[in-house]
Structure 1
Amino acid sequence: MKLSPLSVPYRVIERGGSIIFTAAILFSGASAAFGPAGGLVGVALVGLALLALIAYEVTYYRRFEYDMDGDTLDIRSGVVSRRNREIPLQRIQNVDISRNVVQRAIGVAAVDFETAGGSRTEASLRFVEFEEAKRLQSAVGRLKRGVDTEDAEGSTASASTELFALSPRELTLVGALSFDARVPGLLFVLLSGSVPAVTSVLPGGVDGVLLAVGIVGLALVVILVSWAGGAVAAILNYYDFRLTQVEDELQYERGLLRRYDGSIPLDKVQTLTVADDPLKRYFGYASLRIETAGYAPGAGENGSEAAVPLATRDRVFALANRIEPFGAPTFERPPKRVRGRYAFRYLLGVGVLVALLYAVNHVTTQALPWYGPLTLALLAPVAAHLKWKHRGYWLGENHVVTRNGVLRRRIKVVPYYRIQTVIDTQTVFQRRWGVATVTADTAGSLSIVGHDAAAVDVDESTAERLRTTLDTRLRESLAARRGWIDADDEAGGTPGNPDDDPSGEEGTGADTDHVGGA
């Protein structure tokens, strides 16, 4: 099979920007070297470059071929040297389709094939017709399930069930509750050079007050710009978001200027994450993230991306339970004494900040209110209590569920059979308080950056019991899953998730809290 013929002119135009930039350099250089005839020389060189680009793209199109049989995706490509690739279909985790405004207008799309554990896209098709892209997306799922493509194409289309659609009101809320954290750093770089110039013209005696007012005003501007940038990006990104289920796959569509169509195989789901923040919790909203092995759908190089960007809390948990039936967790919090540890850490941070401001106040001529942050010390006990309150873990029949974070709270749901390693860690400071952390490491993409499900600051005895229980349930769930799959294969059925998981003894904590709590 071949790429779309329209891929040739599109790729030529796509790379035309570099030719225009090169043309400007050639014109200036040719004019200096050849005088009046330099313009003609520049035009000739640009023409040759354009012809070379067209010849390259035509050759690329003619030599690029792809095909799918029952086991592999075969890609043959190369202009100067030939490259033949065979990608086992069982390794393919996700098939993502993306189209910008121009691509949608001419009816082509880019297709990316993501594999387990890959740090980058395993294979790409640039570009095929959109109907062909959707056919490839569904064909990969069918062939992985062992369904013959020709038989499937001749049969009735698979039933599609819409699980979630983002309403205009919810899209507005997604924008209103978004914040682009990259903007403050960018503005700091752009404005850092202007601060000395501003402070140098401040009148004597009141420069400290004016500087404080200016800092507050600048902070408000940064917050406003960051919020506006995050709102616009979120609305463009999640416009017309839809999540549907087609047999044993989740398929999503989203985007205004650039449209994304992706697939999430249910049998490859590693972790579900329900995320929120204080503002979302106050209004009763949350988001849902779905991780597959080594890849978060739609994330590209930017990390995990929400499968459901925003919905009511009950709606999010209902959808999460539909994907992985884990029930209603009742969290066990860390022992109450760890609140003292958290309060001490916050007070230490306040002390360091006050000391830095005091030092700056004496080294420079600016009269900074170095004592201002001392008022934050009054909030340390409150912050410590909230941090303790929003931590916990729960062992269900088939899943382990953990909760961590206040400003960005994550409730992570992990099936026992998806656990790769159970890690019991204890820092020097945890040892002084008699607590430890137990982590359920998975093959999900967020595990790479330390966002695994973790029971943090539990009692040492509880940590040991929890680690042993998780290890036991991991082995039992894997054995039950293998037995269930073998029995199903003998019966000629389709493998799925087993529900048989003998219960072990759960760890106990100092306090419990239900997932529905604030």
Structure 2
Amino acid sequence: MTATEPPGTAVAEPEPRRRLHPLSPLLHGAKSITVIVAALSWQTLSQVGLERFAIVVAVIAVGVVIFSIVGWLTTGYQVVGRELRISDGVVWRRNRAIPLERLQAVELRRPLLAQLTGLAELRLEVIGGGKTEAPLAFLTVKEAATLRERLLRLAGRTRAGETPADQPDAEAPAAPALERPLMRVNNRDLVVSQLLTPQAFFLPVGVAFVVLQFVLEGSWTFIGIASTVTAMAGVLLQPVRRVLQDWDFRLARDPEDRLSVRYGLLETRNQVVPLNRVQAIGATWPLLWRGQGWLHLRLDIAGYAGEPGSGDSKRSDRLLPVGEFATARALVWEVLPGVDLAGLATSPPPSRARWLNPFSLRSIGVGLTPEVFVSRWGLLTREMHIVPYARLQSVRVVQGPLQRMTGLATVYADTARGRAGQAKDRDLAEAYALAAELAVRARHAREQLTP
């Protein structure tokens, strides 16, 4: 008992360090082996032969599994107070303490092998994280869901008078709260939307080119065919991956004022996002979608890092993969109450900005509403960025050399996510006035949020 504790107060024993599921090494090993085999390529197979290739793969597989088992033995986690502590590493040992006050979003992910074995991976996104801070792979689905709810309760700072979530008697999972469904994407619309992409349109040209090559060269070897199929798969990779990722996309809202997002076919994901962590909403109208009246919405969430090494680090989280304007309008109102997507009026830059935007001047605009800062741009693909004033971190006025010649400037409104709303090519005096107005509105909005 310390000097600050009242007499008679029982000191809770710290919980033991917990390991991941015993099948975790096998799942990690299978993923690593697949990557290694893919890296060896068809050319390696043709050079060393099938038998030697199989021996090399077998030796690598044994080594990967042994390494994964050692890694599992040295990996553990525990919740201490309002911190999640994780220790891992084989050659280099790491001990991380993650303050849960920085928690932005928690995702429960189930790759295909995890679905077959009844396991799940828990991923935490925190403020300032350049990558996923704490991937716990793998736990049982029940353990992962229970741990997620516990971490979210701790991140929300349990109110006085409630049982602290880090006490042993609070570890039992509460009864699941009833969610209010918001929307569900039609899988047919999802597939059609990905057919209306440049990759899908240029695919017949690529197929014709490959067939013409075979006809002219007269070579139909196995290695040549396999290499060509691999190259063609690369062309289709992006739209197919988007269909697989966003399959059966569902969005709901729970009584805790959080968004619950579920999606995925081969790899299912279940993400919980507190609405007060949302920094901005982005809307995009691709050229080929406009004939169907479709658009997609994304959320900017502070700390959301996406997939390491996959190029998704710059991708925001999904809100609506594809849908009609009426659906998007309802979702924006849910996330940002009082903001009507149909009523966001914007004003264009001055006419002399046409020298810098000869074709897209009419598509550029900026507007201020009582709740948000709105900016739009884009000629073929139209985009709109909606930033609540309370989420603004800084305001910048930037003037390039061509803008100085024409008396123009661009205003950037930065959020904690790193993205910025922008008022492009405004009159210089208007730009400074707009920046000052945004700073004032941001300060007043934050003061209203402060209890």
**Aligned equivalents of 1:250, 1:464: Cα separation in 2:** 37
Q: Which residue of 2 aligns with 1:396?
A: 369
Would the alpha carbon gap of residues 432 and 438 (structure 1) be closer, same or farther in structure 2, given more than 3 Å must change? same
The answer (yes or no) to whether the contact 1:174–1:309 under 8 Å persists in 2 is no
- How far is 1:460 from its partner? 2.0
Structure number with higher helix proportion? 1
Counterparts of 1:111-122 in structure 2 under 5 Å?
A: 111-122=122-133
Counterpart contact for 2:247–2:264, Cα < 8 Å:
yes
Aligned equivalents of 1:162 and 1:170: distance in 2? Answer: 19
**Mapped contact 2:395–2:414 kept (Cα < 8 A):** yes
Partner SS for 2:175: coil
Q: Aligned match of 1:332 in 339, 347, 369? A: 347
- Percent identity over the alignment is 28
Equivalent residues of 2:33, 2:64 under 8 A apart: no
Contact 1:284 1:313 in 2 (8 A): yes
**Cα shift at 1:55:** 4.7
The one of 418, 430, 434 equivalent to 1:462 is 430
SS in 1 for 2:135: strand
Q: Deviation digits for residues 336-360 of structure 1, max 9, x if unmatched?
A: 34335433xxxxxxxxxxxxxxxxx
Q: Which residue of 1 aligns with 2:326?
A: 314
Structure 1 residue 3 and structure 2 residue 20: aligned?
yes
1:128-150 superposed Cα distances (whole Å, 9 cap, x missing partner): 11222222222221111134335
2: CA distance between counterparts of 1:48 and 1:296?
35
Kindly indicate whether the alpha-carbon contact (under 8 Å) linking 1:241 and 1:252 is maintained by their aligned counterparts in 2. Answer: yes
The 3-state SS of whatever aligns with 1:143 is helix
Q: Residue 20 of structure 2 aligns to a residue in which SS?
A: coil
Q: Distance in 2 between matches of 1:106 and 1:317?
A: 40
1:31-85: CA deviation from partner (whole Å, max 9, x where unpaired): xxxxxxxx9xx98x99987766555443433332212244010112344564322
Give the paired residue count: 390
The question of whether the paired residues in 1 share the 8 Å contact of 2:107 and 2:269 is answered with yes
The answer for the alignment partner of 2:220 in structure 1 is none
2:241 to 221, 233, 257: 233
Does residue 158 of the first structure (1) align with residue 177 of the second (2)? Answer: yes
Measured in 2, the distance between the counterparts of 1:14 and 1:155 equals 34
Alignment correspondent of 2:13: none
Q: Which moved more, 1:330-339 or 1:56-65?
A: 56-65
Q: Distance in 1 between matches of 2:443 and 2:262?
A: 37
Select the structure of larger CA radius of gyration.
1
Query: CA–CA distance in 2 between the matches of 1:264 and 1:437?
Result: 32
The answer on whether the counterparts of 1:273 and 1:410 sit within 8 Å (CA) in structure 2 is yes
1-structure distance, mates of 2:39, 2:303: 38
Q: What TM-score, normalized by structure 2, do the two folds share?
A: 0.75
Aligned with 1:332: secondary structure? Answer: coil
CA distance in 2, matches of 1:259, 1:284: 28
Q: Who is 1:91 aligned against? A: 102
Query: Which structure 1 segments of 5+ residues have no match?
Result: 30-38, 199-223, 344-383, 486-518
| Pairing 1:476–2:449 present | no
Structure 1 residues 322-345: Cα deviation after superposition (integer angstroms, max 9, x where no partner): 1012232111111234335433xx
Q: Distance in 2 between matches of 1:50 and 1:115?
A: 34
2-structure distance, mates of 1:409, 1:297: 24
The equivalent of 2:188 in structure 1 is 169
The amino acid across from 1:476 in the alignment is: H
Residue 68 of structure 1: aligned partner: 79
The amino acid of 2:187's aligned partner reads: P
Show the counterpart of 1:278: 287
Return the letter of the residue paired with 2:362: K
Distance in 1 between residues matched to 2:184 and 2:321, nearest whole Å: 10
Shift of 1:15: 4.1
| Kept in 2: contact 1:399–1:415 (CA 8 A) | yes
The amino acid of 2:291's aligned partner reads: Y
- The code of the aligned residue for 1:271 comes to A
What whole-Å deviation, never above 9, does each CA across 1:282-335 have from its counterpart, x for those lacking one?
A: 322111110111426679642214321111112112201210122321111112
State whether residues 272 and 290 of structure 1, in contact with CA within 8 Å, keep that contact through their aligned partners in structure 2.
yes
Shift in CA distance, 236/47, structure 1 to aligned 2, threshold 3 Å: closer
The code of the aligned residue for 1:314 comes to A
Structure 2's unaligned 5+ residue stretches are 1-17, 159-163, 218-231
Counterpart residue number, 2:266: 257
